[in-house]
């Protein structure tokens, strides 16, 4: 038995020596096939081991009930970065690479960050800052200005590079973290999820505005998503050129569900109540005044001289 083990060990040493004999010299460095295979093995073990460790770390963080969702996301990112940094330096130590040999590489890497990767690292730092100050959290409803309009939706995920915002039509926008740091952002649920909605309504002159106010309040209360506390209100905003302009102010606590459907429900209910109670919704009107002139008199003469026809 011992002889068989010695034979196996001798065969393994011969195979190792045969693989190690296949080599090339680059300057002062001697690279053999055995060393290359060992490096590939260490890199693969480090890569998959770091992925597994990072996943286990994220699972453990998610199970901590004392952290809120934002703190959990931040802790997950920090744990992931720490695991990959530890795996990198462990692999270097196992391969026997001196850190001084990485001086040139670190200088080139610094230049790459300064020129080509500054946006990437800027977004990473901005993402960490957003998670630390908790100004934007997963589940918040935000409106971000992009120069052409506002992207309105719910924050689904805060990554190291971008924030995922899902709109009501199920479109998912990936907004770089730097934009959220440097642009004006409306956070509809930063300190409270209660949001006020203003709905303009016009009634005709001559209408009973007290009756119109009661009907508008009834229409607002009938909408399922409108809160009863704070209670809806009606304001007389202006005497417009064609209508008495009023505003219905109501509150909701689920802005991620959108506001257009609430406006539609309130206006639809107001339309039916106005028709039942005889409150008129006006259409645009204008008075035309004609000044006396020779041309106008000539037209009047021509019309008066024209024979009447059926």
Averaged pLDDT, 15-32? 56
pTM for this one? 0.57
Which of 73-80's residues contact partners 24+ apart within 8 Å by CB, and which partners?
A: 73/131, 73/138, 73/158, 74/128, 74/131, 74/132, 77/127, 77/128, 77/131, 77/160, 78/128, 79/54, 80/54
Q: Would you place residue 110 in the very low, low, confident or very high pLDDT band (cuts 50, 70, 90)?
A: low
Return the structure tokens found at 15: 């195979």
CATH code that applies to domain 192-310:
3.30.70.100
Return the structure tokens found at 229: 């506390």
Lowest-confidence region among 181-195, 244-258, 292-306: 292-306
Lowest-confidence region among 146-150, 195-199, 263-267, 297-301: 146-150
Whole-angstrom Cα distance, residue 188 to residue 196? 10
Per-residue pLDDT, 32: 61
Q: Of residues 178 and 262, which shows the higher confidence score? A: 262
Return the structure tokens found at 186: 């409306």
Per-residue pLDDT, 4: 59
Q: Would you place residue 26 in the very low, low, confident or very high pLDDT band (cuts 50, 70, 90)?
A: low
* 239 DSSP β-pair partners: 244
Whole-angstrom Cα distance, residue 88 to residue 79? 14
Task: List, edge to edge, every strand of the sheet that includes 244-252.
Answer: 195-203, 244-252, 233-239
Per-residue pLDDT, 61: 80
CATH code that applies to domain 135-187:
2.30.30.60
Percent of the chain clearing pLDDT 90 (strictly above):
17
Most confident of 63-72, 178-187, 252-261: 252-261
Q: Would you place residue 270 in the very low, low, confident or very high pLDDT band (cuts 50, 70, 90)?
A: very high
Centre a 10 Å sphere on the Cβ of residue 154 and count the other Cβ atoms it contains.
20
Q: Of residues 288 and 44, which shows the higher confidence score? A: 44
Q: Where are the domains of the chain?
A: 28-99, 135-187, 192-310
The candidate with the shortest Cα–Cα distance to 78, out of 124, 29, 30, is 124
Kindly report the backbone phi and psi dihedral angles of residue 97, in degrees, each rounded to the nearest multiple of 5, phi listed first.
-85, 130
Return the structure tokens found at 172: 């998912």
Does 8 score more than 60 pLDDT?
Answer: no
């Amino acid at each position: 038995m011992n002889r068989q083990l010695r034979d196996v060990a001798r065969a393994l040493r011969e195979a190792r020596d045969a693989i190690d004999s296949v080599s090339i010299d680059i300057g002062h460095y001697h690279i053999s096939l055995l060393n290359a295979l060992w490096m590939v093995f260490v890199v693969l073990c480090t890569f998959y081991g770091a992925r597994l460790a990072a996943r286990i770390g994220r699972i453990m963080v998610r199970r901590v009930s004392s952290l809120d969702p934002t703190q959990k996301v931040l802790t997950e990112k920090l744990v992931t970065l720490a695991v990959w940094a530890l795996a990198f330096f462990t692999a270097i130590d196992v391969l026997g690479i001196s850190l001084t040999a990485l001086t040139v590489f670190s200088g080139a890497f610094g230049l790459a960050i300064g020129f080509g990767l500054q946006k990437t690292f800027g977004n990473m730092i901005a993402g960490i800052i957003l998670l630390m100050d908790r100004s934007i959290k997963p589940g918040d409803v935000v409106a971000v200005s992009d120069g052409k309009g506002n992207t309105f939706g719910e924050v689904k995920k805060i990554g190291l590079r971008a924030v995922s915002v899902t709109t009501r039509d199920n479109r998912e926008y990936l907004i770089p973290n730097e934009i959220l740091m440097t642009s004006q952002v409306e956070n509809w649920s930063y300190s409270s999820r209660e949001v006020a909605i203003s709905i303009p309504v016009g009634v005709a002159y001559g209408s009973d505005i007290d009756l119109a106010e009661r009907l508008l309040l009834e229409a607002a209360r009938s909408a399922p998503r409108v809160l009863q506390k704070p209670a809806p209100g009606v304001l007389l905003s202006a005497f417009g050129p064609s209508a008495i302009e009023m505003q219905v102010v109501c509150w909701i606590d689920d802005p991620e569900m959108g506001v257009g459907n609430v406006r539609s429900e309130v206006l639809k209910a107001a339309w039916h109540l106005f028709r039942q109670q005889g409150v008129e919704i006006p259409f645009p009107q204008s008075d035309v005044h004609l000044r006396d002139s020779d041309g106008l008199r000539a037209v009047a003469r021509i019309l008066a001289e024209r024979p009447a026809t059926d």
